[in-house]
């Protein structure tokens, strides 16, 4: 089945055929670019470049630019169009008399459209209306657009006919990027954010590494994995849910600081805070503990906020979020007590369940004490923590890879950073006692046997590594997408991931040569 082409698509295919008939290649090979829109606008100097009466001859400002035609204003023998390149838009002035015989009337006016990519050579001047403009002396088609571009016009900062359909924007992100400059800016900021983090870590001597995405045993977090298969070895493999266990092997190996920025995959639901594949930073530093890591994260995130937004104070929706150091450090049980009035420390599983029920939560018999505490925290505390806040000292049941607290029995040395009511970072003093780690894994195995699909698998090779001795180590994970949401003021994770996961559209239908045939048929 062939896709039925719209009137405008037929028109553009007809134009393409006519161009070819005239000997104009609709998809040529190369164009020399010497300037971009924003630099031209910034560097044009009226005193030097603009001709004036009785003045000295202006110094020619010649440029060769390339980009997409975004708007056109055609008059009889001359026309203006806006050309958009990566840096922005600049106006181009075209006159019939400046171009080869017939080009203006037959090619530019009839066969070029909004959305086509062109190259322009010419000189820069300022029009009577005061707009810096490239006067074209040469104009070439560089790529014919066969689909019409949704046109966005603007005047006095008011924008008309903006594409607001989220589905359209996510599925055809390439179009979203063409027509929405603020979307281009979001992903520039995201890149700047990651570059800043990387530089910060590199400057401190930490080694950037790459560990396996395909893993025979998955671990490092509680989540359901994606499962795949390797044919040659005929074995089941998992897409990683975390980098943690491999990075700690590298600490065993003698590197004293390692980090990885990469994708993790979790087979869970989608929401404005969750995408099945997402980007995580994990960092492990030898001879440090979680107190040191709290200082480190504060410094890192304050620095990143300033580099990306220009200020440690960041606007996110209705909130102004301040990454300025220091941030409050609140033990989990204190935070819960403050919000609910209940002190959960030392309470038995059944006491916890009773309290949770009194608070209106649904508790079933399969939930352990750690799970119940987590429920209470997630319901009554987390959503209220808008400013960056360290929540510290978690129940041991929730943290099978964290070291026991040096003073508080039943707890581990772990912190999360909550920002905007959501977890942004997770860190601990890493468990390096191999026997304790084995016991924790075995507890996870019991949970798994009892039906907890998110419980961890026992990783024998990781235990073997620990048995060779891992130094005291502090570890950290940061959700890069969530950080990007806050630093770019976006409400949904889909707005900071270029191609978020969506259900597939109807079967993709090709627009084949049939379209061109239709175009011919419609002419006769």
Partner RNA sequence: GACCCCGUAGCUCAGCUGGUAGAGCACCUGACUUUUAAUCAGGGGGUCGCAGGUUCGAAUCCUGCCGGGGUCACCA
**DSSP 8-state secondary structure symbol assigned to residue 497:** S
* Position among 34, 62, 168, 366 found at the interface with RNA (CB under 7 A): 168
Q: Is 78 in the site for RNA (CB under 7 A)?
A: yes
Q: Is 106 in the site for RNA (CB under 7 A)?
A: no
Contacts of 479 (CB under 8 A, 6+ apart): 278, 279, 280, 423, 424, 425
* Position among 33, 191, 502, 521 found at the interface with RNA (CB under 7 A): 502
Nearest distance, CB of residue 5 and RNA, angstroms:
9
Nearer to RNA, 96 or 324 (CB): 96
Q: Which residues in 250-289 contact RNA (CB under 7 A)?
A: 266, 268-269, 271-276, 278
Q: Is 84 in the site for RNA (CB under 7 A)?
A: no
Binding mask 190-229 for RNA (x = CB under 7 A): -------------------------------xxx------
- Which part of the chain contacts RNA (CB under 7 A), choosing from 208-216, 232-240, 322-330, 370-378? 370-378
Q: Is 378 in the site for RNA (CB under 7 A)?
A: yes
Contact 31, 2 (CB under 8 A): no
Between helix 181-203 and helix 290-309 the angle, nearest 10°, is 140
Closest CA to 208 of 263, 278, 277, 284: 284
* Position among 50, 71, 137, 180 found at the interface with RNA (CB under 7 A): 71
Give the helix ranges, DSSP H, for 76-180: 109-111, 166-171, 173-179
* Position among 303, 337, 347, 422 found at the interface with RNA (CB under 7 A): 422
CA distances from 200 to 49, 208, 253, 307, 501 (A): 43, 12, 23, 11, 31
387-399: burial string, b at 16+ Cβ within 10 Å, e else: ebbbbbbbbbbbb
Q: Which residues in 29-58 contact RNA (CB under 7 A)?
A: none
Q: Is 401 in the site for RNA (CB under 7 A)?
A: no
Q: Is 102 in the site for RNA (CB under 7 A)?
A: no
Nearer to RNA, 213 or 306 (CB): 213
Nearest distance, CB of residue 469 and RNA, angstroms:
28
Nearest distance, CB of residue 515 and RNA, angstroms:
13
CA-CA distance, 343 to 324, in Å (whole number)?
Answer: 30
Please state the φ and ψ torsions of residue 323, each to the nearest 5 degrees: -90, 10
- Which part of the chain contacts RNA (CB under 7 A), choosing from 145-153, 244-252, 386-394, 402-410? 145-153
How many residues can be counted in the chain? 524
Q: Is 21 in the site for RNA (CB under 7 A)?
A: no
Q: Is 125 in the site for RNA (CB under 7 A)?
A: yes
CA-CA distance, 372 to 368, in Å (whole number)?
Answer: 6
Longest Cα–Cα distance of the chain, Å, equals: 94
Q: Is 25 in the site for RNA (CB under 7 A)?
A: no
- Which part of the chain contacts RNA (CB under 7 A), choosing from 32-40, 41-49, 70-78, 184-192? 70-78
Closest CA to 377 of 350, 396, 359: 359
């Amino acid at each position: 089945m062939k896709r039925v082409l719209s009137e405008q698509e037929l028109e553009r295919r007809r134009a393409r055929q006519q161009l070819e008939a005239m000997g104009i290649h609709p998809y040529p090979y190369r164009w020399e670019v010497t300037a971009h829109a924003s630099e031209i606008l910034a560097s044009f100097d009226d005193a030097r470049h603009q001709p004036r009466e009785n003045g000295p001859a202006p110094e020619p400002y010649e440029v060769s630019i390339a980009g997409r035609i975004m708007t056109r204003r055609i008059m009889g023998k001359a026309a203006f169009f806006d050309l958009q390149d990566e840096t922005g838009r600049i106006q181009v002035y075209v006159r019939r008399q400046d171009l080869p015989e017939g080009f203006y009337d037959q090619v530019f006016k009839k066969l070029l459209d909004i959305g086509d990519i062109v190259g322009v050579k010419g000189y820069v001047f300022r029009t009577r209306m005061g707009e810096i403009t490239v006067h074209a002396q040469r104009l070439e088609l560089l790529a014919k657009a066969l689909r019409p571009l949704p046109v966005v016009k603007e005047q006095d900062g008011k924008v008309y006919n903006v594409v607001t359909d989220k589905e359209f924007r996510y599925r055809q992100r390439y179009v979203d990027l063409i027509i929405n400059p603020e979307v281009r800016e979001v992903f520039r900021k995201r890149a700047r954010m990651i570059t800043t983090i990387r530089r910060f870590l590199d400057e401190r001597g930490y080694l950037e590494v790459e560990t396996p995405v395909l893993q025979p045993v998955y671990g490092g977090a509680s989540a359901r994995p994606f499962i795949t298969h390797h044919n040659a070895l005929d074995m089941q493999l998992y897409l990683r849910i975390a980098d943690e266990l491999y990075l700690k092997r590298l600490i065993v190996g003698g590197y004293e600081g390692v980090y990885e920025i990469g994708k993790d995959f979790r087979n869970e639901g989608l929401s404005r805070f969750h995408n099945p594949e997402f980007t995580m930073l994990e960092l492990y530093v030898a001879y440090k503990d979680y107190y040191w890591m709290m200082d480190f994260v504060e410094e890192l995130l304050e620095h990143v906020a300033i580099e990306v937004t220009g200020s440690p104070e960041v606007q996110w929706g209705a909130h102004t979020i301040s990454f300025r150091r220091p941030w409050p450090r609140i033990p989990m049980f204190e935070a819960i007590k403050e919000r609910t009035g209940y002190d959960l420390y030392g309470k038995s599983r059944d006491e916890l369940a009773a309290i949770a029920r009194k608070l209106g939560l649904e508790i079933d018999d399969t939930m352990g004490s750690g799970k119940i505490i987590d429920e209470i925290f997630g319901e009554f505390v987390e959503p209220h923590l808008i400013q960056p806040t360290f929540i510290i000292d978690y129940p041991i049941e929730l943290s099978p890879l964290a070291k026991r607290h040096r003073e508080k029995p039943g707890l581990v040395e772990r912190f999360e950073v909550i920002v905007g009511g959501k977890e942004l970072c997770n860190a601990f003093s890493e468990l390096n006692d191999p026997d304790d780690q084995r016991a924790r894994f075995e507890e996870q195995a019991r949970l798994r046997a009892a039906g907890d699909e998110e419980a961890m698998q026992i990783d024998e090779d990781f235990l073997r590594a620990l048995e060779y001795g891992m130094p005291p180590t502090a570890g950290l994970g940061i959700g890069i997408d969530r950080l990007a949401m806050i630093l770019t003021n976006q409400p949904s994770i889909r707005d900071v991931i270029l191609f978020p996961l969506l259900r597939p559209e109807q079967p993709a239908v090709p627009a084949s040569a049939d379209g061109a045939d239709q175009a011919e048929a419609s002419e006769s």
